[in-house]
Amino acid sequence: MIELLALFFVSLIANILSALAGGGAGLLQLPILLFLGLAFPVALATHKVASVALGLGATIKHLKAGSLNWRFALLILASGLPGVFIGTLLVLHIPERWTLLILALLTSGLGIYSLLSPTLGQAPQSRHRNGLALWQGAAGLFLIGILNGSFTSGTGLFVTLWLVHWFGMDYKRAVAYTMVLVGLFWNGAGAISLAMQAGLYWPWVPVLLIASALGGYLGAHWGLKQGNQLIKRCFECVTILTGISLLIKTIKVW
C-alpha cells in the first residue's frame, strides 16, 4: 500500500508538470518504477502505457477548449507514428548508457536554447506551413518519432520545441498539440509495441493510469489559464532537470 501511494503521488506530480511543460513525465515516473524494482524494459513499457493516460486526460481538456487544428494534427500523426514504430524496434538493441547520454545532452540543449531565446514562443508567428518547408518540418517530426520510440523520457519536449521553433506556434498551442498527439497517439503506439516485446507490470498499471489521467487533465487546465511566459519557464525547468537526471543515470550505468 505504501508503494502504491508513493507511486500515485509521484506520478500525479510528474504528469501535472508534463502537461504544463509539454513533456517530461518520465523525469520522475520512470525512475520510481526502476527504484521499486522493475527491470528497465518492463519499467519503460509500463511508463509508456501510463503516458497514454496522461494524453487522454489532457485531450479531454484541450478538446473542450478547441485548441487544435485537426488538419495540422493529422500531419503530426502521419509524420511521427512511423518513426515511433521504428524507434521501439531499436530501443531494446541499443546499449542503455548511450541512449541515456544522447538523450541527456539533447534534452539539456532544448532548455538552454529556450532560455537563451527570450521571445521564443511568446506570440504565434505561423510559418513553414506549405511547400518544401512543410515537408522539412514533417521530416523533423519523423526523427523525433524515432526518439520517442527509442528513448526513455522527455521526447515530448522535443515536439513542443520543434512546433515552436519551426512552425512558429506559441508555447500554449504547442503544448496542446504535444499532449494530445504525442501523449495519446505516439505514446499509445509505442506502448503497444513495447508491451508486446517486454511485457508490463500489471499490478501497478491501474494506479499509474489514474494518476496520469488526473495529472494530464489538471496540468492542461492550469496551462490554458496561464500565459506563455509561465509555460516557457516550466518547459525550461523540466528540460534542464530531465537532462541533469539523465546525466546522473548515465554516470551510474557507464
Q: Would you kindly state where each structural domain of the chain is located, as residue ranges?
A: 2-253
> What local confidence, expressed as pLDDT, does residue 183 receive?
78
Q: How many secondary structure helices (H) and strands (E) does the chain include?
A: 11, 0
Among the residue ranges 46-60, 186-200, 211-225, the one predicted with the least confidence is 186-200
Amino acid at the residue 243: G
How much of the chain exceeds pLDDT 90, in percent? 13
Among the residue ranges 29-43, 170-184, 221-235, the one predicted with the least confidence is 29-43
- Exposure letters 61-89 (e unless 16+ CB within 10 A, then b): bbeeeebbeeeeeebbbebbbebbbebbe
> What local confidence, expressed as pLDDT, does residue 92 receive?
65
Enter the pTM of the model.
0.82
Q: Who has greater pLDDT, 135 or 245? A: 135
Q: Which three cell numbers stand for residue 203?
A: 499490478
**Residues whose CB falls within 8 Å of the CB of residue 5, separated by 6 or more in sequence, listed in order:** none
